[in-house]
Structure 1
Amino acid sequence: MLKPASSLVQKYNVPGPRYTSYPTVPYWEEASFSREAWQQSLQRAFAESNASEGISLYIHLPFCESLCTFCGCHKRVTKRHEMEQPYIQAVLKEWDLYCQLLPDRPMIKEIHLGGGTPTFFSVAHLQQLIQGILAKAIVAPEHEFSFEGHPNNTTREHLQALYDLGFRRVSYGVQDYNEKVQKAIHRIQPYEHVQRVTEWARDIGYTSISHDLVFGLPFQNLEDVLNTIQQTTQLNPDRLAFYSYAHVPWIKGNGQRGFKDDDVPKDELKRTLYEEGKKKLLAHGYHEIGMDHFALKSDAMYQAFQQGSLHRNFMGYTASKTQLMIGLGLSSISDSWYSFAQNEKTLEDYYARLEQNEIPVFRGHVLTAEDLMIRRHILNLMCSFQTSWAEPEMQFPELPEVLKQLEEMQEDGLLTLFEDHLQVTEQGKPFVRNICMAFDLRLKRKVPSTRIFSMTI
């Protein structure tokens, strides 16, 4: 018998990770990490996978002309566009340092430009960046290049220039169309701007257009969410991210203090925003794939989900999996599967390390054998809503304790347990972060003494 949604919210609305990695960043063991260890891990992953599948690049472009108060990204707010060229040169130098470590030309399967605001940069500077990257690489026959575009400053010239360089996917941050909500989050953009850039991208030939929507924003109510989704479906994007706003002002400081805590929807109301929004998306032909993501059947993300090849990393969900992802730019995180490495977080430190001809990583984590196994369980849950411990390499001493916790979740209707695997139920999909937490051995062994994660609901 299914339990009422309200009682599940009360029980499972706890602080928890979003699992873009395992171990999550607060549990990285930095004492065992070094730049030399990262470079060895990088070379190992490259040798294992470059020729067969290629690599991914995440390039962080951090500049924004104004501060969006809902944002948790590392950014530099400025209107000084003369900062573009030095940053492009720094990223290309970082790429050159990586290429010097690699025995062969890298084959690039995936590029994603994130931010900040990638379209803060001029067309000429974006062309310089991508052409500089590709000059030292081979492009994989099947590749996916994507970027995040701000509806207010993405021009047709941006879209055409990046299309000509091989980009076929663009994501637009919409958040919510209600003016009161937009003012609270300092992100004023009318529907007409989103419509314009969406239609431009479709006209140019982009094969996947995505809109990012956020629920749980300050002053947001159910009517706002449903109206935003109604307007969004009129534009028929190929895929959607329908995110929960992570209210963490104790971490992000002034950026999330542009409104009061009481202005943010809580618990049952926030869950209602998601559930009713999800119903409306499903009614318009979108299918749930992974946590907080939806796609039409024609989109590559849906097809990857159906085929069991969907992957999740620091860029989010991707249909184009590679073992090695190199992050370029300040605060970017790289992933070799065997280890993580994060770049310096400030522009000044990032530039200083590059001036010393050093790859600008400042912290990271080398995964243990246990980490690698738990990471596979969590990726299975996040990408396909199931996992199995049938094989010995997927078993661990604490498994009986984990199964006991999963039995309680089964009683609550969140999952179905079988002898050697589990399947998340429809009712359990919104609680997949909680299910992942049952497998998170590092979190079990060391519960944070202070609140470091957003609420799971």
Structure 2
Amino acid sequence: MAVSLIQKYNVPGPRYTSYPTVPYWKENSFTPNLWLKSLIETYSATNKTEGISLYIHLPFCESLCTFCGCHKRITKRHEVEHPYIEAVIKEWNLYCDILPERPNIKEIHLGGGTPTFFSPENLKYLISSILAISNVEENYEFSFEGHPNNTSKEHLQTLYDLGFRRVSFGVQDYSDKVQHAIHRIQPFHNVAKVTLWAKEIGYTSISHDLVFGLPFQTLDDVLDTIDKTNALHPDRLAFYSYAHVPWIKGNGQRGFKDEDVPKDDEKRKLYEQGKLQLSKHGFVEIGMDHFALKSDSMYQSFKEGNLHRNFMGYTTTNTKVMIGLGVSSISDSWNAFAQNEKVLEDYYARLDKNEIPVFKGHILSEEDLVIRQHILNIMCQFETNWNNEHLQFTELTEVIDSLYEMQQDGLLELQENKLIVTEKGKPFVRNICMAFDLHLKRKAPERQLFSMTI
């Protein structure tokens, strides 16, 4: 019996929000001082020309969603809000004391956790405090993630008044059975309410996050969720593959059995049929797992070749400096990555000592920078090339040789000094990136670190 493409290519693989991926960071050669040196160098060269991005991690959630792989702290005690915001503001002040000139902010994204766990008043205090010692770039983009169950009209209005024009609502799936399995109960009318409020207030880009491959999820569930989503006319969508990684996230993803999760060809059918349904509704695939209407800025960015990908996911703003604030946040100076303390108490302790709370990271080599660019090109434009000398590397011939089988399978086209991902190959874009991942090639992980690519 012939082996299907799903069976052939369904292997553990990274999602490539960075290269090198976190498990391959060389922590032994990293120090916080090296991170700050790299940050200041890139910042000095780019702050005035392109500005910087800020990612702010707001970790608290009132309940645990069992599909979630984010760093979070489950609590119903809202008195945790103010001390955390004070800590984030202090961290920003520590950075501003070190940076050589007043920062020009191009992008802010509030992620989590649940950003709308925090009251509108506290979010206003947080953003106002950050902007008070910063400049805002022309054509800035401020966005946040909202939970449909606790995002109020006041949340939306307060953040809009502060300059936010993008909001993303986590939907996942509308099936009652699936919602109970992942412990995320949110009726359609809750999502409809917050979406319509956002439109009424004036948000220019509204996104819904959908997930395929969830426990007990059927094809009818996926198609029903997409149709209901389309009825609300969001501007863009994320259509993610559920990452079943209970060996990393522990009991949070053990609320159901492994056999309850769709796998292989069954899971790929959810994606393929879901993507077809999205296309019927006018959504265009613009990157791995992401779709947008042609009227949305992310589609325009994709068509113009300006789409970017970093630890925040896909963005229309391409800044080389991204500073992550808050527990577990990751920062990027293009030449270096740095991650904050992942335990909340450790994060607070470092700030109490007036230390920027970075605890690990990676300084990119010249080779890393070349491979990073190829992977970004494939992830953001579905193609890459090595016409220029600066995009060539020692093991390029071996990498090209490893791609021939994918070309025979119809996943990509190899032209002279160029690779193009085919329509058939878009579901396998992680596998194509893995062919360039020299760290992964040189040292396969001894245990499973990544979710399955399919």
Tell me what 2:335 maps to.
Answer: 338
Distance 1:100 1:227, change over 3 A: same
Q: Distance in 2 between matches of 1:246 and 1:361?
A: 27
1:212 aligns with 2:209: yes
Structure 1 segments, 4+ long, off by >6 Å, are none
1:164 aligns with 2:175: no
Q: Distance in 1 between matches of 2:444 and 2:224?
A: 40
Tell me the secondary structure at the aligned position of residue 387 of structure 2.
coil
9, 26, 30: which is aligned to 2:27?
30
Tell me what 2:350 maps to.
Answer: 353
Tell me what 1:145 maps to.
Answer: 142
Tell me what 2:399 maps to.
Answer: 402
Tell me what 1:306 maps to.
Answer: 303
Tell me what 1:449 maps to.
Answer: 446
Tell me what 2:387 maps to.
Answer: 390
Distance 1:364 1:184, change over 3 A: same
Tell me what 1:272 maps to.
Answer: 269
1:67 aligns with 2:64: yes
Q: Distance in 1 between matches of 2:36 and 2:435?
A: 32
Asked whether the equivalents of residues 6 and 268 of structure 1 are also in contact (C-alpha less than 8 Å), the reply is no
Tell me what 2:413 maps to.
Answer: 416
Tell me what 1:240 maps to.
Answer: 237
Tell me the secondary structure at the aligned position of residue 20 of structure 2.
coil
Structure 1 residue 397: Cα displacement = 1.7
Tell me the secondary structure at the aligned position of residue 51 of structure 1.
coil
Kindly report the root-mean-square deviation, in angstroms, between the aligned alpha carbons of the 2 structures.
0.9
Structure 1 residue 366: Cα displacement = 0.1
Q: Which amino acid aligns with 1:339?
A: A
Q: Which amino acid aligns with 1:177?
A: Y
Tell me what 1:91 maps to.
Answer: 88
Tell me the secondary structure at the aligned position of residue 52 of structure 1.
coil
179, 182, 198: which is aligned to 2:179?
182
Structure 1 residue 103: Cα displacement = 1.2
Asked whether the equivalents of residues 218 and 263 of structure 1 are also in contact (C-alpha less than 8 Å), the reply is yes
Tell me the secondary structure at the aligned position of residue 148 of structure 1.
strand
Q: Distance in 1 between matches of 2:448 and 2:126?
A: 39
Q: Distance in 2 between matches of 1:89 and 1:286?
A: 40
Q: Which amino acid aligns with 2:177?
A: K
Deviation by residue 1:140-177 (Cα, 9 ceiling, x = unmatched): 11100000000000000000000000000000000000
294, 297, 304: which is aligned to 2:291?
294
Distance 1:87 1:10, change over 3 A: same
Structure 1 residue 5: Cα displacement = 11
Distance 1:395 1:142, change over 3 A: same
Distance 1:110 1:6, change over 3 A: farther
Structure 2, unmatched stretches of 5+, are none
Q: Which amino acid aligns with 1:418?
A: Q
Deviation by residue 1:17-68 (Cα, 9 ceiling, x = unmatched): 0000000000000011001001001101111110001000000000000000
1:376 aligns with 2:366: no
Q: Distance in 2 between matches of 1:250 and 1:366?
A: 28
Deviation by residue 1:363-390 (Cα, 9 ceiling, x = unmatched): 0000000000000000000000000011
Deviation by residue 1:97-150 (Cα, 9 ceiling, x = unmatched): 000011111000000000000000001100000000000100111100000000
Q: Which amino acid aligns with 2:399?
A: V
Q: Distance in 2 between matches of 1:286 and 1:271?
A: 19
Structure 1 residue 6: Cα displacement = 7.0
TM-score normalised per structure 1: 0.99
188, 197, 201: which is aligned to 1:200?
197
Deviation by residue 1:429-455 (Cα, 9 ceiling, x = unmatched): 000000000000000000001000000
Structure 1 residue 392: Cα displacement = 1.1
Structure 1 residue 396: Cα displacement = 1.4
Deviation by residue 1:201-239 (Cα, 9 ceiling, x = unmatched): 000000000000000000001000000001000001000
Tell me what 2:44 maps to.
Answer: 47
Tell me what 1:128 maps to.
Answer: 125
Q: Which amino acid aligns with 2:75?
A: T
Tell me what 1:429 maps to.
Answer: 426
Identity %: 72
Structure 1, unmatched stretches of 5+, are none
1:250 aligns with 2:233: no
Tell me the secondary structure at the aligned position of residue 208 of structure 2.
strand
Q: Which moved more, 1:390-399 or 1:126-135?
A: 390-399
Tell me the secondary structure at the aligned position of residue 433 of structure 1.
helix
Distance 1:221 1:240, change over 3 A: same
Q: Distance in 2 between matches of 1:321 and 1:179?
A: 39
Q: Which amino acid aligns with 1:417?
A: L
Q: Distance in 1 between matches of 2:302 and 2:182?
A: 32
295, 300, 315: which is aligned to 2:312?
315
Tell me the secondary structure at the aligned position of residue 145 of structure 1.
strand
Tell me what 1:228 maps to.
Answer: 225
Q: How does 1:97-112 map to 2 (within 5 A)?
A: 97-112=94-109
